[in-house]
Amino acid sequence: MTAVTLIDYGAGNLRSLRAAFERLGAAVAVSGDAGEVAAAERLVLPGVGAAGPAMEALRKRGLDEAILGSRAPLLGVCLGMQLLFERSDEGDVSCLGLLPGQVRPIDWARRVPHMGWNDVLGDGHPAVCYFAHSYAVACSEDIVAGRTPIDGRDVPTVVRSGRLQGVQFHPEKSAGDGRRMLERWLAA
The residues carrying an active-site annotation are 78, 170, 172
Half-sphere exposure of 20 (CA within 13 A, CB side): 26
Cis peptide before 113 (omega within 30 of 0): yes
b/e code 61-82 from CB counts within 10 Å (16+ = b): bebbebbeebebbbbbbbbbbb
Q: Rg of the chain over CA atoms, in angstroms?
A: 15
Q: With beta carbons less than 8 A apart as the criterion, state whether 35 and 69 touch.
A: no
DSSP state, residue 50: -
Q: Give the Å distances, CA to CA, from 121 to 24, 142, 149, 169.
A: 24, 15, 8, 13
User: Distance (Å, rounded) from C-alpha 122 to C-alpha 157?
Assistant: 10
CA-CA-CA-CA dihedral for 67, 72, 73, 74, to nearest 10? -10
